[in-house]
Amino acid sequence: PCVCVPSTHVCAPLSPLCPPLDINELNLPKTCEIDFSDQDDLLHFRLLICPDEGFYKGGKFVFSFKVGQGYPHDPPKVKCETMVYHPNIDLEGNVCLNILRWATATPRVATATP
């Protein structure tokens, strides 16, 4: 969807066929905060995650997001700025998830031939 910040009346289309989404409509859990440091560039933002349960409880993890102009065909770049051991985060903080590449996948239909 497009992301709009009401105080600045700025819209950043994340996809050409999307309705605007007000930032205030995001239902983030209480353990997450989003930061758009540049209100004119909504395709770059940071997300602070503070888990309140599980192995990472009490931690504070900052992720930076860079959504390119090719979205949704190109996945966003996600980097963990906090040093953390996790199987999906490399030593430079790059988040390695196949789910970030979902937009580039082509659906396949299996057909049986008699």
pLDDT one-digit tens code per residue, 43-99:
999 999 999 999 999 999 999 999 998 888 888 899 999 999 988 899 999 998 765
Q: Name the pairing type of β-strands 2-5 and 10-12.
A: antiparallel
Q: Which among 72, 113, 79, 111 is positioned nearest to 97, based on CA atoms?
A: 79
State yes or no: is 96 an active-site residue.
yes
DSSP structure string for 19-48 = -EEEGGG----TTEEEE-SSTT-TTEEEEE
Model-wide pTM > 0.75? no
Q: Give the chain's domains with CATH numbers.
A: 31-102 (3.10.110.10)
Q: Which of 11, 18, 80, 96 is catalytic?
A: 96
